[in-house]
Structure 1
Amino acid sequence: MNQADQVYLDLCQYILAHGTKKEDRTGTGTISIFGHQMRFNLQEGFPLLTTKRVPFKLIVSELLWFLKGDTNLRYLLQHNNHIWDEWGFQKWIESDEYNGPDMTNFGLRSQQDEQFNAEYQEQLNLYQEKVLHDDEFATVYGDLGNVYGKQWRSWEGADGKTYDQILYIIEEIKRNPDSRRLLCNAWSASELENQQLPPCHYAFQFYVNNGKLSCMFNMRSNDVFLGLPFNIASYALLTHLIAYECKLEVGELIYTGADVHIYSNHVEQIKTQLQREPRNLPTIKLNPERDSIFDFEIEDIELVGYHPHGAIKAAVAV
């Protein structure tokens, strides 16, 4: 049994057994615990869960989107990545320019009402097309505000200057690998009103030891079924990319979560996943011809040997 799936499934079992039922912003309801940590040895394989299929290309395109400093959905839609669509869609339907059918609480209503779901899908498709092909619309309603890409690559300081936190980390690792300041922060109190979704994975820090690069990332809030498998793989990939740039091996990935929860409409899916036997972890292969991680495209990152169980569908709580 691979260690990555095991620690994840252990967490799921613990939440179901010991979690507290809580209400939440989305109105869905959760089973929640407060405070949890998991460790993944990246030398043992790439921690992409095998007890359900996790779409790796979506993880790659989202991470590259962050690293480009982009905050507009167009790049993701161009790569058939729809994991952020609902946040931009919500921005549009809450605007004065929207004049379609009432989409209030579309996340819950689309699960409960087939007729409404058909209307919702129609409006969502319209939104996606407009972001892809209407520059003016995309500028206003495709942009999610100062989310991860902006904070990672163009942090605005109190001094009025902007700071590239990712570039700083890379340069500092090369200059002073023993530094205890290899840290990126995406949480800015002054920016919260300008973000369609305040950062869930709000900070991460790197650590170099014996030629290996480790990373610890912190999450204030974590959807265990849909979000966490993405987050684990995304930060594992980021660690591989930074290690590549700095000519290091990979070490550990450490996850620290605060409000760690299973949504009430994901419980049956979690139970299905818990019945599955983990399989061997895959590995990843990076294009050795790329000089910088900022030059990487999706095709430069290859997943090797991934043979998971089938996907398990679940609705996103918005």
Structure 2
Amino acid sequence: MTTEFVKNEVDEAGRFRRQKTRFITPFGDGPNDLPVEKDRYRLIVSYACPWAHRQLIALKLLGLENVISVGVVDPVRPTNVARTDWSFSLDQDAVDPVLGVHYLSELYLKTDPTYQGRFTVPAVIDLQTGKVVNNDFLGLLRHWETQWTRFHKPDAPDLYPEKDQAAIDELNDLIFTDINNGVYKAGFATSQSAYEEAYDTLFDRLDILEKRLSQSRYLFGDHITDSDIRLYVTLVRFDVAYYNGFRTNRNRLVDFPNLWAYARDLYQQPAFRETTHFDHIKKHYHLSAIDNPRQIVPKGPDESILLQPHGRATRHY
């Protein structure tokens, strides 16, 4: 199934071109914005999906867990439907307890019966209508950080500080294009040249960030920002899914001294650790996203290594 469900997103040269996001209405106070209201929305996620994972990290860091409800889909795609979908089979009777649906596709098709794209997470559902109002996997994180501040907990971190915004935006573009999406460009490539192009770019960018993290605890000094969340979700999946499944095998994460210590530093903080579910990650990639005819899920690696001391909190750069 490696490229079957993204076959419409591969160009003639064999390069993976991710589909554009359909529902991008922003949150805000404008007449055409989505209203910022407590208990108005349900966020549908997969613990396996890096785009959804970063929303969960942000909700926990910012204290929005009791403001936005969360529904979780099964990490293994359903095989009893003809479409590529996500199911709520983890819930009682295989139905989302709030929305009353079996499949994510039901919400998309209720929103637009002519919808033709993949049914993706994260997806924000308006509980007043039961429709998808935002599935902007790139922009959604920024909305939680900047438009939902009235509901942030008192000690919430500033994940998008004004003085660093231009630099964060620039770095985020590199992280998304060549790392977050770069692993998929390698994994879903259908030609040797497209694969090697993505592979070389991916490791070039990781080498740059390895050097950068030799000089600071996080990507922007000693405080966590939006960029750290975006990078973490790829790093934490690297050795358990991408290294072997997507053939990004020049180095494992554990072979990068600074990136590996940085990932452990983040993992050992509750918002990152409590939202990282390796069982979901391994099941999804090895049973739904990677050619694996015998459907065997890797046993390792030992997750306890992420709890080893990282030494970055007291390190002088």
TM-score bracket for the superposition, by shorter chain length: under 0.3
Q: With a CA cutoff of 8 Å and minimum separation of 6, indicate the structure with the bigger relative contact order.
A: 1
Name the TM-score, length of structure 1 as normaliser.
Answer: 0.27
